[in-house]
Amino acid sequence: MATASNSAAHLLPHLQKALTCNPNLKLLDIGCGPGTISASLAQHLLPSGHVLATDIADDVLSRAKEHAISQGLAVPENISFQKESVYELSFSDNEFDIVHAHQVLCHLDDPVAAVAEMLRVCKPSGLISLRESDMRMWCFWPELPSLLKFHGLMVDVMLANGGQDKGGRKLVSWIMDAGVERKDIEAGFGTWCYSEPGDRKAWGEAMIERLRTGQMRQRGIELGLTTEEGVEEMVKGWEEWIERGDATLGIVNGEVIVRKVASLPKAT
């Protein structure tokens, strides 16, 4: 399960520091998806901070809300949920102390516009925290041909949907295109490693679930990128990989913290 510790570790020291100055922090979590990171961030902001989690889809927000309640959080006191488009947030300028987005820009055809909108709603001296997968940067061992095909299909479907395959390496560039100076950006990379048996099983089964029921299968077949038989071969590949004691998968994410300067940046 994605949490603040495993998926927003680059933000946590900044969050702790900001909390010591202002225990009533307002954090905007854009594109919250299943909401596990949002809920985890809300726990870091207890007792008096607040997370506003947004997504473009109502059903996603309902499930995220259920998850937050299951974690013992009070809705709407600790965390609230609201439908929003990242391109046109309904908030005033300078409203949030921290704006967070995890694996969101990779789904967008105009990531620079989204960053500009995040900057708009962030308070001067506030922070924007982004983490985006670099989808080209997966390394499998063993390199089963069916898994390499899976990886290719995932990237091709992402691109066909208007998303981004190299977000990790482009983050700094996108943020500068939105008007931020390099000196106000802290950049790094973080990794996920799936290698010990429990991690292999959880990740492999999630990928099989995605192949069996997700839109990757449907879009892949629709676009002529794969076939039903091709998908079944990929499922078998993941099953084999889960069972291989020496298997590894590394995935790379770009991670940045942007400090908004007092004056609003000028988008290019």
Decide whether 90 or 173 has the Cβ nearer to a second copy: 173
**Measured between alpha carbons, how far is 58 from 83 in angstroms, rounded to an integer?**
7
Decide whether 225 or 251 has the Cβ nearer to a second copy: 251
Q: Minimum CB separation from a second copy for residue 238, in Å? A: 16
Q: Minimum CB separation from a second copy for residue 191, in Å? A: 4
Q: HSE-up of 198 (CA within 13 Å, CB side)?
A: 1
Decide whether 50 or 200 has the Cβ nearer to a second copy: 200
Q: Minimum CB separation from a second copy for residue 248, in Å? A: 5
List alpha helices for the chain, DSSP H: 4-7, 12-21, 36-45, 58-70, 111-121, 145-160, 167-177, 197-213, 215-222, 228-243
Q: Which residues bind a second copy (CB under 8 A)?
A: 134, 136-137, 139-142, 166, 168-173, 176-177, 182, 187-193, 195-197, 245-248, 250, 252, 254
**Measured between alpha carbons, how far is 199 from 144 in angstroms, rounded to an integer?**
18
Q: Minimum CB separation from a second copy for residue 137, in Å? A: 6
CA dist 150 → 140, 143, 147, 177, 208 (Å): 11, 11, 5, 32, 10
**Measured between alpha carbons, how far is 145 from 46 in angstroms, rounded to an integer?**
47
Decide whether 224 or 245 has the Cβ nearer to a second copy: 245
What residue has token string 């063993």? 142
Strands 96-102 and 122-141: parallel
Residue 103 forms beta bridges with which residues? none
Decide whether 69 or 139 has the Cβ nearer to a second copy: 139
Q: Minimum CB separation from a second copy for residue 43, in Å? A: 24
Decide whether 47 or 245 has the Cβ nearer to a second copy: 245
Q: Minimum CB separation from a second copy for residue 195, in Å? A: 4
Q: Minimum CB separation from a second copy for residue 176, in Å? A: 5
**Measured between alpha carbons, how far is 225 from 234 in angstroms, rounded to an integer?**
13
**Measured between alpha carbons, how far is 190 from 229 in angstroms, rounded to an integer?**
35
3-state secondary structure of 161: coil
Decide whether 6 or 215 has the Cβ nearer to a second copy: 6
